[in-house]
Copies of this chain bind each other. A is one copy, B any other.
């Protein structure tokens, strides 16, 4: 139900208006049917601390806009040069490079605008400002962008486990963390609750990447809907490469256990979706 609410809200957040080409490109990637893990986490976190999930809908849309922007820009020829994403041609393959860059820029900017303009007045503006600052730090040169640049600079080199973790924490975990933390902020959580959700999110974030790496070496392109084996082919650092497949699987099991441990401090019924999500991330097949 949460994913469906997010789908509807995303569709409404980017109407097909003039100039049509840019909005078509934004919608093409934003509404490509991803799993909506980040926005669902955001809504669940809002509810966990006692907020109504509708309060966090604009924030949930914003994290998905940012995630989509990062995929569009990462797929560009001068970055990962990917032709396929979620089983479809990547944005620049469908619309051209210049439009893909601009669609990413527009989604990034819209993310912040959307939280600021659309979060209901029921949420105190002070919490809205905190959420925007939190999200910004997950994207910029100490977040997503930092992870991507270190990843690019490390290609073709020997990478230590420490560097590998830096890349994944920044490319993947920080935005997941911000999704959860912003949900808790918007939902009215107190400091202790917000920090507990941050710890949960850190485990989930790392878990997400470990599982992604395992899938890259164990699944075909057809099963994944994107080019498989790319990490290996491009000499990128991955967990299976550094720990072996079994080592990576054990590490994933540890991370789920830690995440679930944090949830034990909350109401069990409200924590259920976050509990399920941790298990879902651990056992997903695509």
Contact = CB atoms under 8 A, between A and B. Distances in A.
A141 B26 contact: yes
A73 B129 contact: no
A128 B126 CA distance: 9
A113 B132 contact: yes
Report, as a range, how many residues of chain A touch the other chain: 35 or more
Nearest to A121: B126
A137 interface: yes
A109 B140 CA distance: 6
A102 interface: yes
A19 B109 contact: no
Nearest to A65: B140
A17 B113 CA distance: 28
A193 interface: no
Contacts of A260: none
A116 interface: yes
A97 interface: yes
Interface of A: 14, 17-19, 21-23, 26, 69, 73, 76, 78-79, 96-99, 101-102, 104-110, 112-114, 116-117, 124-126, 128-130, 132-133, 135-137, 139-146, 148-150, 152-153
30 contacts: A17-B142, A19-B150, A19-B153, A21-B149, A21-B153, A22-B141, A73-B102, A73-B105, A76-B98, A76-B101, A78-B98, A79-B98, A79-B101, A99-B149, A99-B152, A102-B149, A105-B105, A105-B144, A108-B108, A110-B136, A112-B132, A113-B136, A113-B140, A116-B129, A116-B132, A116-B136, A117-B137, A124-B125, A125-B128, A129-B129
